[in-house]
Amino acid sequence: MAKAGTVRLFDRIKQWERDLRNSYNTDLSTPEKRRRAHIYNLWFDHAILRGVWTNLDEIAPGVFRSNHPTHRRFAELKARGVTSVLNLRGSAGAAHYLTERESCEQLGLTLVDRNLHARKAASAAEILAVIAAFRSIDRPFVMHCKSGADRAGFASAIYLMAIEGEPVEQARRMLSARYVHFRWTKTGVLDHILDSYALRNATDPIGFEDWIRTEYDPAKIQAEFDARTRLPL
């Protein structure tokens, strides 16, 4: 009985936290909503950290990976010659996306939106859409997720394989502790995707994009990963 009461209390606390976050995750249509969106970005989306910690790296000439830049950092990237932004967080209308879109419009940066997942295997369509964006986006460009550790790392590995022609054994360095990515968390499913491709490629070579298009099974990969891991995060 005590355990059930503790679970209910924990659930209420989680719901209270979700409600609080949602109350600040607003659009920019009024000064008050803009103020609340700024608070959301700063504290709930952790922009307070990303003002000084960038996780920025140039992975190929004119191709950068980063955590989610602040407006000031977008301006600095433009000054370095960046013309386009590949957002890997989707465009669902959250405060962090609305302010990013506004920053890009003000600075004259082209914003391209795609969606990847950090803690579950992305669909083939989502991965192929990222590859298509790599082929069409103007350079120099920066790709980003929230922390620049997981989705940006996975997308960087994809870029190196599909566009630069690097082998998976080299491209997988994009998912490493250097960028604050740890395969023992739930984000390790991204490593498992590359592991699965490397195993398949070793027995009968196939390009990464072709593998995604013809053989990749995200449900199977996710099930394999879940079955062999019992993760706390």
Give the range of the structural domain holding residue 154, as residue numbers without chain letter.
27-228
- For the record, the structure tokens of 40 come out as 């959301």
CA end-to-end span of the chain, whole Å?
26
Give the pLDDT confidence of 138-177 residue by residue, as tens digits.
Answer: 999 999 999 999 999 999 999 999 999 999 999 999 999 9
- For the record, the structure tokens of 114 come out as 């795609």
* 138 vs 15, residue with greater confidence: 138
Query: Is 17 part of any domain?
Result: no
Query: Is 177 part of any domain?
Result: yes
- CA atoms of 59 and 62, how far apart (whole Å): 8
Q: Return the closest-CA partner of residue 68 out of 176, 163, 149, 135.
A: 149
Predicted pLDDT at 216: 98
Query: Is 10 part of any domain?
Result: no
- CA atoms of 22 and 78, how far apart (whole Å): 32
Classify 86 as helix, strand or coil: strand
Give the pLDDT confidence of 46-93 residue by residue, as tens digits.
Answer: 999 998 999 999 999 999 999 999 999 999 999 999 999 999 999 988
> What average pLDDT does range 115-141 have in this prediction?
97
CA atoms within 13 A on the CB side of 69: 29
Query: Is 179 part of any domain?
Result: yes
- Residue labelled with tokens 């959301």: 40
Query: Is 5 part of any domain?
Result: no
> What average pLDDT does range 20-41 have in this prediction?
93
Give the pLDDT confidence of 82-123 residue by residue, as tens digits.
Answer: 999 999 999 988 999 999 999 999 999 999 999 999 999 999
Query: Is 94 part of any domain?
Result: yes
Query: Is 233 part of any domain?
Result: no
- pLDDT of residue 1 exceeding 60, the answer is no
Contact residues for 105 (Cβ-Cβ < 8 A; gap 6+): 111
User: Could you tell me the CATH number of the domain that includes residue 116?
Assistant: 3.90.190.10
- Residue labelled with tokens 């998912």: 175
pTM: predicted TM-score of the whole model, two decimal places = 0.92
- CA atoms of 68 and 55, how far apart (whole Å): 9
- pLDDT of residue 232 exceeding 60, the answer is no
Query: Is 75 part of any domain?
Result: yes
Angle, helices 71-79 vs 95-107, to 10°: value is 30
Predicted pLDDT at 233: 47
Mean pLDDT of the chain: 93
Based on the structure, what is the number of domains in the chain?
1
Contact residues for 63 (Cβ-Cβ < 8 A; gap 6+): 139, 140, 141, 143, 159
